[in-house]
Amino acid sequence: MADFLSTLGADPAVIAALATHRVPGRVTRAERGGALVATLPGEVATPYAEVTVGDWVTLRDGVIDGVLPRRGTIVRADPGGRSSSRVLAANVDTVLICTPVCADPPARRLERLLSLAWGSTATPVLVATKADLSEAALEPLRRLAPGVAVVRTAPDDVGGLSPYVGPGRTVVLLGASGVGKSTLANALLRQDVLATRPIRADGKGRHTTSWRQLVALPAGGALIDTPGLRGVGLAAGDADGVSLAFADVADLATGCRFRDCSHDSEPGCAVSGAVDAGVLDAQRVRSHRRLQRELEWQTAKNDARLRAERNRRGRAVTQEHRQRGR
Ligand SMILES: Nc1nc2c(ncn2[C@@H]2O[C@H](COP(=O)(O)OP(=O)(O)O)[C@@H](O)[C@H]2O)c(=O)[nH]1
Ligand SMILES: [Mg+2]
Ligand SMILES: [Zn+2]
């Protein structure tokens, strides 16, 4: 059982927590209608439960009756705006942010994905895909992602990812549609399990992966493939992902004269100084500010929602007390 769980990405703590259960498993797909759970006897379709891809669960009579506390959740703002956020994947160790090698990478989109990843307890890695198509240097990507490993891959060369995959580990692939996530996944799987489709003649990607899916890798460990995210909203995560994604700006900001410097036109601003000196991209400072505001706004919205929920529950309890008192 321990070997099976490790192959699915379980680390020793998860194995210990699940050891005494008869049917432990991991959610490979979660939808409104139900979830698929990988178990030792095989994949089981279960009725709806509040779980997400990557959750460790226990089953009883084919129904999920327990979920382990999550570690390393990847959270985004709910695009529908109904609830405050949506968990994309649970129990993730490494977020592989994929983008094709090129001289002019989509900075704004990657900064968002990096902030999302840094907001979790998982470690982001930038994967420069389609290395067989471009000789471009990785320097532009490195500048976008201080402190993040940048790995070049091609369908026949995924060796650079070996430090991140293996027994007891879970990786999730994030990135726009068409960047080569499923192709990468298939290369790691050493077979075509996940759907990929030729890109359109105009070079734009097309959605082919339409749901999030967890698969066990032949070398051990789990991989979660995701459809391309359209408009990634930042949600309050486990950590302040924006500050971590912009560690270069944050570091410089410690040298500003004013602690609440907005790096706009204040005297003694180390950030503006770095921009003027040509060592920091002005666009990066603007992105930092914009994403910081977005995160603050989401956090405030989340707090307001939690307060409203508490009040509602408080009123219900008070009413119950009154009725009993009569
Ligand atoms: N030449 C080349 N083509 C690739 C590579 N990765 C993906 N592709 C192609 O790009 C298209 C989209 O790939 P896919 O894996 O479906 O992207 P996804 O939407 O991110 O999952 C497909 O036509 C792939 O064959 C690569 O490393 N090299
Ligand atoms: Mg795909
Ligand atoms: Zn400043």
**φ, ψ at 118 (rounded to 5°):** -65, -25
Kindly report the CA angle at 133 between 132 and 135, in degrees rounded to 5? 85
Same domain? For 56 and 84 the reply is no
Q: Ligand 1: does its nearest atom lie under 6 Å from the Cβ of 209?
A: yes
Q: How many Cα atoms within 13 Å fall on the side-chain side of residue 320?
A: 6
Same domain? For 139 and 248 the reply is no
CATH number for the domain spanning 272: value is 1.10.40.50
Ligand 2 centroid vs 180 CA: distance in angstroms? 7
Q: Give the full edge-to-edge strand order of the sheet including 94-100.
A: 149-152, 123-129, 94-100, 170-174, 222-225, 213-216
Domain count across the chain? 3
Same domain? For 34 and 109 the reply is no
Same domain? For 190 and 97 the reply is yes
> pLDDT-derived band of residue 193, with 50, 70 and 90 as boundaries?
low
Query: Domain for residue 100, yes or no?
Result: yes
**Confidence (pLDDT) at 200:** 46
Q: Ligand 1: does its nearest atom lie under 6 Å from the Cβ of 155?
A: yes
Same domain? For 112 and 197 the reply is yes
pLDDT average, residue stretch 145-156: 94
Same domain? For 20 and 114 the reply is no
Same domain? For 310 and 251 the reply is yes
Same domain? For 254 and 278 the reply is yes
pLDDT over 90 at 43, yes or no: yes
* 115, 241 Cβ separation under 8 angstroms: yes
CATH number for the domain spanning 7: value is 2.30.30.140
Same domain? For 51 and 85 the reply is no
Same domain? For 271 and 186 the reply is no
Cα gap 148→153, rounded to integer Å: 16
**Confidence (pLDDT) at 205:** 45
**Dihedral sign from CA coordinates of 119, 120, 125, 129:** negative
The H-or-E segment that residue 40 falls in is none
CATH number for the domain spanning 206: value is 3.40.50.300
For tokens 């003649």, name the residue.
201
Kindly report the CA angle at 248 between 104 and 161, in degrees rounded to 5? 60
Kindly report the CA angle at 227 between 84 and 33, in degrees rounded to 5? 65
Mutate to test the pocket of ligand 1, among 152, 172, 183 (most ligand atoms within 8 A of CB): 183
**Confidence (pLDDT) at 84:** 61
* 96, 173 Cβ separation under 8 angstroms: yes
**Confidence (pLDDT) at 81:** 58
Residue 286: strand, helix, or coil? helix
**Confidence (pLDDT) at 144:** 94
pLDDT over 50 at 57, yes or no: yes
The whole domain housing 54 covers: 2-67
Same domain? For 134 and 188 the reply is yes
- Among 70-84, 141-155, 208-222, top mean pLDDT goes to 141-155
Query: Domain for residue 160, yes or no?
Result: yes
pLDDT over 80 at 196, yes or no: no
Ligand 2 centroid vs 316 CA: distance in angstroms? 46
- Please report the atom of ligand 1 found closest to the CA of residue 175: 20
Same domain? For 51 and 102 the reply is no
- Please report the atom of ligand 1 found closest to the CA of residue 195: 16
Name residue 122's amino acid.
A
Cα gap 53→171, rounded to integer Å: 12
